[in-house]
Structure 1
């Protein structure tokens, strides 16, 4: 695969085509600012054609033998493995991923594809008894139809594939709209992989466009029965409302404000390492990142000293450099948003334990202490290399602090007592939480999703299969019923 060859076009009905809009999208490297590729944007007519193509093709895809369907995913895995270096380069150039982050993301995608390859063989039904004599009830698991997928810029390859692969594996058609900041690794690269893997034309369509061009047409189109969105809570709320209004099921993987809790008996050195990874992986642009580090007061000063030493050792710079830990945020708009958060936190009385400069899209780490739970730095999803450290005195106070947020995506608890950690974790209002681990976890067979404003629905494993399918009841009466009239 020549890097970016054919990947600067829309992929509709199995063909690589220019968008029909008169507008163009410049895909920029967030570190250098250089143009990578340019797209002619899709318009609402292209959206319609993509959905209609997927609706037609998905009926034929559902007829393909399940073992043949599985082979498509197996070939997709092989293709990625053979092109790992090129894909890593794309991710470093398009989204400012470090080499380590790119490797992690590619590994996640391979695992997702392997799990999704089992879906065609798991479209199981049931035969249930009936309250009526001589009758049986059959339940058939069927594809939901066509799934519209809207993916974000932070983990575009993995978070696009997280919905695309299981939806296709369950027999659906898919139309994918990647984020305009990452149209290649979040979109057209995925089309290329499935094209090379032999997925029939039209099953997967990828359109590159923006809201200015299509408005809500992607969500409101009559064809899709499911809209799967990953991104901010504010946008997710709008998409969810639109989807439900048009009788479509929303799957929403949204923002987080995860608490990393360090109890008084924790291994402090290990907790420092885990907290740093939980906050600063991919510049903090991960929905599961630790936004708040809650430390027992007996360890608070010592943690701050060690954490400061750790954070100041993290190299910031070119994501392609082997020793870079923190690369650029996605664009200067994100950098300026973080600057406003930092300035506001200082105005509200928080003290920077570490405060690095901001140069363009390079945001050096900032760590705040003297933070009150009501401050912006404790309440907002930061989505960057900024974190708040708060003390607590009891386990009950730690739980209360952890739950003082509208979000509920991930979390972590560190303690030498596993039972104590589990007891505390049970009381934190979050979809996922990890004892003696990092907040950033995703495994292909484990339910993934959030509570409260962090989303609706669960992906991965049997839960993903359930989300992208529907159950059809067919009853069979082997005798004749008697009727009251």
Structure 2
């Protein structure tokens, strides 16, 4: 364990994370000495105003860390613009040497990163929980990344796409993917570590990488990249600057203006992301967008309802504040009443709590105003509130000022009506679950498939049905999304399949399923004839 990263500082409570920036293979302190401090979410929920005042005072240096008690989870150096530029320059210097490392060695690095996530699972989970991710979600998330983005199966498949060789006599024709160069990654506040892990897979195709850890939740990202990934790069002999990690404000404007930057991975909302896409293209950068999702889950009359309900319940994880969960359900009229009743009971049993408590999946909702606006809009357009629509305190009691919102189930009859409802048309980013019941008719399946195809977003869709003919139609016709699941978990990650990416408002003009190991490369053709008789 790096003494610079994890040490017994004067923060009471024992082991506390304190991270300088990591640039060009070394620790870098900010010239002004500024650090941003992370107060545990438990402390925030116990005393919101006190915790926010504590953070302010620590950030300003008007209170010593000793005064924080166990509320202080850690601190990260606040990168200034000069440090941001230095990180990109270091990546540019490392670029030629890292690109020469054999693909097989880089794939093995990816597998070892996955193994490292398992070895460090307890400490990473502890930091994620301090930052607000429920314990029951944090650990399994790390294992999912180990078995997907960092699995030998997925990485081997991606490596196979990097080069094709055909030889005829003295002629050798090659179609290859070459690394773009310097890739900058901008993880979001709501899923910082998950998207940082996704972002660093660009290393495995020969790119060098700069990761900006968001100021609000930097600890798990900084720890994981510093304590899991950096030692493995050092063992491999990677040039200093292959991976650089800083904590600071958004840096996309600086990256757009920097001639050393080739690709920018932007994770955020659709409106900002699509505007950024245009700016990136104008600046000559490749934009790789991971934007909003508005996933649809369809339950047919002969579906396994137990499996479908479990899959729909993924909507409540993190109070719906992640992209790859079902945002709307289409329920066949034959099973709609039973399904809605079961979902209402499930919503009622899903309670708030502190992130370190077992069974907790809900998190505070920052956009509660939009949550209630979406409910009002739906009701005004004919929807019925089946359950929910209240603020809750951490103990589950209704409150006008609670930081949580109650998981909410809506019923909307008719596809035409549903198409006018904001909670169906757009991502809600909350535990709001509209269940749409289509009108019976001989062409109902056609109408449902057309409705799904009309979704402006394109992250994931899933179907539950017991009829092979329906499965075949779904697989053939539902093509406008990054991942399609049939009769299985909506949100789960699986080897060989992408974890990110999609079309439309999810991925922009160039959107598709995202294997970042491939998206951060470009195709080149090479034809070479060996000179006769020359060795």
Give the TM-score normalised by the residue count of structure 2. 0.79
Per-residue deviation, 1:122: 4.9
Q: Deviations over 1:196-246 (max 9, x none)?
A: 2244321111121123xx461123321121112222212221221122112
CA distance in 2, matches of 1:82, 1:477: 49
Correspondence for 1:446: 497
Q: Deviations over 1:317-363 (max 9, x none)?
A: 1121112232334xxx3334323333443444432211142444322
Instruction: Name whichever of 66-75 and 374-383 sits farther off.
Output: 66-75
Correspondence for 1:206: 245
Per-residue deviation, 1:53: 0.1
55 and 345 in structure 1: CA distance in 2 versus 1, 3 angstrom threshold: same
Match of 1:243 among 271, 280, 297: 280
Correspondence for 2:48: none
Match of 1:357 among 391, 404, 410: 391
CA distance in 2, matches of 1:390, 1:109: 33
CA distance in 2, matches of 1:390, 1:302: 13
1:174 and 2:209 matched:
yes
Counting only pairs closer than 5 Å after superposition, residues 83-102 of structure 1 correspond to structure 2 as: 83-94=120-131, 96-102=132-138
Correspondence for 1:37: 74
Correspondence for 1:13: 24
Counting only pairs closer than 5 Å after superposition, residues 156-175 of structure 1 correspond to structure 2 as: 156-164=192-200, 166-175=201-210
Per-residue deviation, 1:158: 2.3
Match of 2:425 among 379, 399, 409: 379
Q: Deviations over 1:71-126 (max 9, x none)?
A: 544543443322211111111111x2222211221112323233476589658544
Instruction: Name whichever of 228-237 and 266-275 sits farther off.
Output: 266-275
433 and 124 in structure 1: CA distance in 2 versus 1, 3 angstrom threshold: closer
1:390 and 2:473 matched:
no
Given that 2:482 and 2:512 are in contact with CA atoms closer than 8 Å, whether structure 1 keeps it comes out as: no
SS at match of 1:60: helix
Match of 1:265 among 295, 298, 302: 302
CA distance in 1, matches of 2:233, 2:528: 38
Instruction: Name whichever of 467-476 and 279-288 sits farther off.
Output: 467-476
Per-residue deviation, 1:139: 3.8
Counting only pairs closer than 5 Å after superposition, residues 430-445 of structure 1 correspond to structure 2 as: 430-445=481-496
Q: Deviations over 1:132-181 (max 9, x none)?
A: x98654444432211111112333222211121x2111111001123333
Per-residue deviation, 1:388: 0.5
78 and 478 in structure 1: CA distance in 2 versus 1, 3 angstrom threshold: closer
Correspondence for 2:410: 368
Match of 2:323 among 287, 293, 309: 287
Given that 2:300 and 2:464 are in contact with CA atoms closer than 8 Å, whether structure 1 keeps it comes out as: yes
Per-residue deviation, 1:373: 2.2
Counting only pairs closer than 5 Å after superposition, residues 43-82 of structure 1 correspond to structure 2 as: 43-66=80-103, 68-70=105-107, 72-82=109-119
Q: Deviations over 1:343-391 (max 9, x none)?
A: 4434444322111424443222111123632111111211121111110
Given that 2:120 and 2:228 are in contact with CA atoms closer than 8 Å, whether structure 1 keeps it comes out as: no
Instruction: List runs of 5+ in structure 2 lacking aligned partners.
Output: 8-14, 45-50, 52-71, 394-401
Given that 2:117 and 2:143 are in contact with CA atoms closer than 8 Å, whether structure 1 keeps it comes out as: no
Given that 2:502 and 2:513 are in contact with CA atoms closer than 8 Å, whether structure 1 keeps it comes out as: no
Per-residue deviation, 1:459: 5.5
CA distance in 2, matches of 1:218, 1:20: 21
Q: Deviations over 1:391-439 (max 9, x none)?
A: 0131122223323431121111111113312313433332322111232
Correspondence for 1:483: none
1:114 and 2:151 matched:
yes
Instruction: List runs of 5+ in structure 1 lacking aligned partners.
Output: 481-485
CA distance in 1, matches of 2:19, 2:392: 31
What's the Cα RMSD here?
A: 3.0
CA distance in 2, matches of 1:395, 1:117: 37
Correspondence for 1:338: 371
Correspondence for 2:54: none
433 and 138 in structure 1: CA distance in 2 versus 1, 3 angstrom threshold: closer
CA distance in 2, matches of 1:141, 1:351: 52
Correspondence for 2:58: none
Per-residue deviation, 1:258: 0.9
407 and 71 in structure 1: CA distance in 2 versus 1, 3 angstrom threshold: closer
84 and 135 in structure 1: CA distance in 2 versus 1, 3 angstrom threshold: closer
65 and 294 in structure 1: CA distance in 2 versus 1, 3 angstrom threshold: closer
Counting only pairs closer than 5 Å after superposition, residues 128-147 of structure 1 correspond to structure 2 as: 128=166, 137-147=173-183
SS at match of 1:32: helix
CA distance in 2, matches of 1:206, 1:437: 36
CA distance in 2, matches of 1:305, 1:93: 35
Given that 1:18 and 1:39 are in contact with CA atoms closer than 8 Å, whether structure 2 keeps it comes out as: no
